[in-house]
Structure 1
């Protein structure tokens, strides 16, 4: 399991990019999993398929926006003290 949500989403994006690049070459999803994903990321085939269904880029951008807003709020609180 990932350390936090941000690192989890980065891992999912890496897996999705590998799949996209390999599918362009004409490889099947099962082949990609067995030869590229299973050894490097140590996830099951069902987890691999679940990762492909996640819109990780959108979630990561929303998470970063939320983090930036929280930091801005903390900075404004500190400057008011």
Structure 2
């Protein structure tokens, strides 16, 4: 991830959002700050190569994804 971030001169969040987009999904990130909204929106223009996508896929497989999507309090607010 760090190599891709550096190569693309992007933030980790932008690379993550571009990766989600490359999977055919649409991410809707939440933020409280206008600067983060603009930063996240710029991910739409970030093009990841097949090599980037392979490296990211490999990293996800190797490190695994663990943990809850949100805290219990956050989940409770979503279902209230």
Q: TM-score, normalised by structure 2?
A: 0.30
Flag the structure with larger Rg: 1
More helix by share: 1
